[in-house]
Copies of this chain bind each other. A is one copy, B any other.
Amino acid sequence: MILARIQKLSVAIPENLAEMLEEEIIFGRLKSRERLTEEMVAARYGVSRSPVREALRLLERDGLVMREARRGIWVSPMSQRDFDEVYTCRIELEGLVAKQAAESADIEKKAEFKNLLSELKQAQARNDARQFFIVDVRGSFLTYTLAGNKTLTRLLGGLEKQALRYRYHAYEQDPKIIQLSLDDTARIYDAITAGDGESAKAMTENLIREIWQSMRAGIRDAFGEG
């Protein structure tokens, strides 16, 4: 999703717009509660309001913006409450997808995890947070692909992005949070590659729960309880 969008803009403008806005929101260039007027977005990207409206519907679907009928659209507010919601859902669904991914027999795809892991380490070494998160998302999508459950992928797509907003914020506050993410991610990848569904699930659930707990106080301090 993120990435790989140059020169694609000629087709599927709404999807591409949505991806670009997504990035703006995840990486905090569009801030929580900031208003988005259709005309502003249209002017900024040099298109008309029609594709903008559809792009905003897509963002709404993924919980990145909130619409109030006939009033407008705002970047979704962040709060500890929202964070809790996203993470309680993630625990269940990421656990399930890890289990189903582990049960896949697609050895070649599983081998990809090794490359991703080294890319993650490189990004971390270079202190390139943006790249780190982009690769991390690719890892998530690899997991989703392995699981081969389209419905689950659809649901997780809309959670992953919200989660990433919080994770990127946490990184900005304290860059060494990446270390935690990297260790966790490596362990998850290993569990999936090993092919033991039940333990992959349990590990994933535990790891996400850990991250959740470690980030929780900081989120409250930054955004309030909600």
Interface contact A89-B85, CB-CB below 8 Å: no
Report B-chain residues with C-beta under 8 Å of the C-beta of A155: 89, 93, 155, 158-159
Given contacts A61-B61, A69-B11, A69-B12, contact A151 B54 (CB under 8 A): no
Q: Which of A146-166 contact B (CB under 8 A)?
A: 149-152, 154-155, 158-159, 162
- Complex CA distance for A107 and B120, rounded to whole angstroms: 49
Instruction: Across the interface, name the chain B residue whose C-beta is closest to A50.
Output: B50
Instruction: Across the interface, name the chain B residue whose C-beta is closest to A82.
Output: B151
CB of A71, distance to nearest CB on chain B (Å): 12
CB of A53 closer than 8 Å to a CB of B: yes
Interface contact B151-A63, CB-CB below 8 Å: yes
Interface contact B82-A89, CB-CB below 8 Å: no
- Counting contact residues on chain A (CB < 8 A from B), the size range is 20 to 34
Instruction: Across the interface, name the chain B residue whose C-beta is closest to A93.
Output: B92
Interface contact B152-A88, CB-CB below 8 Å: yes
- Complex CA distance for A69 and B58, rounded to whole angstroms: 15
Instruction: Across the interface, name the chain B residue whose C-beta is closest to A55.
Output: B57
CB of A96, distance to nearest CB on chain B (Å): 5
Instruction: Across the interface, name the chain B residue whose C-beta is closest to A92.
Output: B92
Interface contact A96-B85, CB-CB below 8 Å: no
Interface contact A88-B96, CB-CB below 8 Å: yes
CB of A86 closer than 8 Å to a CB of B: yes
Report B-chain residues with C-beta under 8 Å of the C-beta of A12: 69
Given A54-B54, A92-B95, 5 new contacts (CB under 8 A): A50-B50, A89-B149, A92-B96, A93-B93, A151-B162
Top 10 A-B pairs, shortest CB-CB distance: A85-B151, A92-B92, A61-B61, A57-B57, A85-B149, A155-B155, A92-B96, A86-B151, A89-B152, A12-B69
